[in-house]
Amino acid sequence: MIQQLVFVAVLAVVSLLAFRSYRHIYKSIMLGKDFSTSGPSGERWKNVLLVAFGQKKMFKRIIPAVLHGFIYVAFLFTQIELIEIIVDGVFGVHRFFAGALGGLYTLIINSIEFLSLGALISTIIFLWRRNMLKVPRLVMPEMKGWPTLDANNILIAEIVLITAIFTMNAADGLLQNIDPTHFPDSGPLLLSGIVGKTLFSGLSAGTLHILERVGWWIHILVVFGFLLYLPLSKHLHILLAFPNVFFAKLKSRGEMSNMPDIMNEVKSMMGLGDPNAEEAPMTEELPDFGSKDIFDLSWKNLLDAYTCTECGRCSSVCPASGTGKKLSPRKIMMDIRDRTTEVAANLKENNYDTKGYDDGKSLFDYISDEELFACTTCTACVEACPVMIDPLEPILELRRYKILTESAGPSDWTPMFTSLENTGAVWQMPSERFDWAKPLTEENS
């Protein structure tokens, strides 16, 4: 009874805290601009099914895909057990589903145990890859400090969780024989049966009961802790991957977003504008073009940033990162998230009202010109991301701000711009455009 009360109290507090912190994440992402989500929703659902649920893009690298797959599938399956734990906890019952589901229950719990073993092995390999093997993409400069600690925290929590599951099930299995009225038959559990036999045999019913409770409580407390930790962590991808894939751009990757204001301005300059259109009111100040801060990015860009799990596949294929330049697409996404987190924390008290917000900072305090101008727009990062994040779009939007609003940017580009404006060619040439045909004409004449 006391346990039941404690559980309900913990559940209530965790739910409240979780609600507040996930609401904060939602509000943070919504600080971004609205964008068009047109296009066939069938295509979007297909992406959710294949890329998010089916993890299709993970399989470009088979080893991490399989290892990650174990953790992912184990996580999905464990939700069934989790529901049972909550039901048991709230109503003070034990293994509520065992009686109701019978043989199916045995199958489910055995599956969870096998997947958990796979997840445990994967977790240990992941810790080794990250900390001992030092896979290059996992130890790049932007991973120093918190990002690495964050990744290790989760992996260690994973090990604690799985240990708790096996402790709980192993003790429970033995108690089913000793006290069948309180411990309903789950059917034979293969893996925890072995754990029970080797580690717990000969222990008294009292000790087993304590072990079972300790396992049960650690399990659920790690889950609750994980739930509250997620919003502070790169591990938010386990939830956000799904909406992120759904809202991913369906248009051609080669199409940069159009800027209608500039298009119309140029049209009227060229005398191509709609003659009936009302003339835009003249304003003293020139409007800002491109993106300077998170408010100028779309909420999809911000969702991208919160979905990023810092795997670094983007940066490992980036020609700039790969040749020792400062640009790293992953860092761009991490910077956007960090800046959004900073702004959102300041705006929280003000009910996220962005009007007149100015903390004297912008994304350019996080991202340097050197990074922005090193991008070749090759889209390797876009292709590489397993959860359809687009690091290229914000890079180009920030570039637009630099060039259009600040008139900054590499001085090497100035002659190209001037030449385009004056002659319509990227190089200022003494010859005429059509001169290339002259040798051909002479050839046969």
Residues that bind other proteins (CB under 8 A): 60, 252-256, 258-259, 262-263, 265-267, 269-270, 272, 289-290, 317, 319-320, 322-327, 370, 373-380, 383, 396, 399-404, 409-410, 412-413, 415-417, 420-421, 424-427, 429, 431-437, 439-441, 443-444
Other Cβ atoms closer than 10 A to 441: 8
Instruction: Tell me how far, at minimum, the Cβ of 50 lies from other proteins, in Å.
Output: 16
Coil, strand or helix at 306: helix
Instruction: Tell me how far, at minimum, the Cβ of 264 lies from other proteins, in Å.
Output: 9
For other proteins, which is the closer residue by CB, 165 or 380?
A: 380
For other proteins, which is the closer residue by CB, 232 or 259?
A: 259
For other proteins, which is the closer residue by CB, 208 or 403?
A: 403
- Round to whole Å and give the CA distance between 163 and 158: 9
Coil, strand or helix at 150: helix
Coil, strand or helix at 33: strand
Instruction: Tell me how far, at minimum, the Cβ of 108 lies from other proteins, in Å.
Output: 38
For other proteins, which is the closer residue by CB, 145 or 439?
A: 439
Other Cβ atoms closer than 10 A to 110: 19
Instruction: Tell me how far, at minimum, the Cβ of 46 lies from other proteins, in Å.
Output: 17
**Three-state DSSP string of 63-90:** HHHHHHHHHHHHHHHHHHHHHHHHHHHH
For other proteins, which is the closer residue by CB, 349 or 412?
A: 412
For other proteins, which is the closer residue by CB, 121 or 416?
A: 416
**Structure-token pair, residue 135:** 């896979």
- Round to whole Å and give the CA distance between 146 and 148: 5
Phi, psi of 13, rounded to the nearest 5 degrees: -65, -45
The DSSP annotation for 314-379 comes to HHHH-HHHHTT-S--HHHHHHHHHHHHHHHHHHHGGGTT--TT---S--GGGTS-HHHHTT-----
Instruction: Tell me how far, at minimum, the Cβ of 377 lies from other proteins, in Å.
Output: 3
- Round to whole Å and give the CA distance between 51 and 46: 8
- Round to whole Å and give the CA distance between 208 and 309: 39
**CA Rg, the chain, in Å?**
28
Instruction: Tell me how far, at minimum, the Cβ of 437 lies from other proteins, in Å.
Output: 4
For other proteins, which is the closer residue by CB, 199 or 425?
A: 425
- Round to whole Å and give the CA distance between 221 and 227: 10
Instruction: Tell me how far, at minimum, the Cβ of 339 lies from other proteins, in Å.
Output: 20
Instruction: Tell me how far, at minimum, the Cβ of 65 lies from other proteins, in Å.
Output: 15
For other proteins, which is the closer residue by CB, 67 or 380?
A: 380
